[in-house]
Amino acid sequence: MIQALPRNLSFAEYLAYEDGTDTSYELIYGELVAMAQPTGQHADIADLNDALREYIKQRSLALSKQGAIAIQIPPVEGKDIARIPDVCIVTAEQWQMKSRSAAIALTEPPPLLVVEIVSTNWRDDYLKKLADYEALGIPEYWIVDYLALGASRYIGTPKLLTISVYQLSEGEYQVLQFRGTERIISATFPELMLTAEQVVV
């Protein structure tokens, strides 16, 4: 018998929810939405390039991969939202706090940077998650579209592997896009020497 998922959960109820499986859930307008486990190249990209991991470590920052940290997003029409990014970069102090609670609440500073790796539900990354992360005030959001699945209005024509870097300016995201051997420009990591194609190898 399939058990119906509870509805209209609060963020606190979401964090406490257990169904005895290994399934990870996001909370979307109060409802649990099961997440697919990343596999293949998607999972490899989430491991991050060695140079990028080392760069993060040298700056005393910490990163988590999918499932490690849930982020509370400002509610919409009174319904709670929680996202679990593919990659989440926080300060070392925040990471130490996460040993007690694998969540970042609205009362805490937001992550420094989140990364979403595009899959078949690309609209979520370019529309819904972008709006959620912007509303929360996350300073930088990367969309890694390694299979060029996004619509042409998001990644241009011809459709190529594209990394879109959204940076918060006066409460709104402004985007820069990088392809091939173009060096990624990041306000969070200004000295980073990494090209778009290096992120996905």
Which tens digits make up the pLDDT trace of 27-65? 999 999 998 877 788 888 887 878 888 888 888 888 877
Residues 165 and 176 sit within 8 Å (Cβ to Cβ): yes
76 in a structural domain: no
19 in a structural domain: no
Q: Each residue of 98-146: pLDDT tens digit?
A: 655 689 999 999 999 999 999 888 999 999 999 999 999 999 999 999 9
Domain with 172, as residue range(s), is 38-65+85-199
The reply to whether the predicted model has a pTM over 0.85 is: yes
20 in a structural domain: no
58 in a structural domain: yes
74 in a structural domain: no
pLDDT the model gives residue 190: 93
What's the order of all strands across the beta sheet hosting 140-145? Answer: 61-65, 87-91, 113-117, 140-145, 162-169, 172-178
Residues 46 and 67 sit within 8 Å (Cβ to Cβ): no
d(CA 110, CA 121): 24
pLDDT the model gives residue 51: 82
**Torsion, CA 158, CA 162, CA 166, CA 172, rounded to 10:** 20
Q: Each residue of 83-106: pLDDT tens digit?
A: 999 999 998 888 877 655 689 999
Give the pLDDT band of residue 155 (cuts 50, 70, 90): very high
52 in a structural domain: yes
pLDDT the model gives residue 1: 44
pLDDT the model gives residue 187: 95
- The residue among 137, 197, 198, 126 whose CA lies nearest residue 167 is 137
Please tell me the total count of domains within the chain: 1
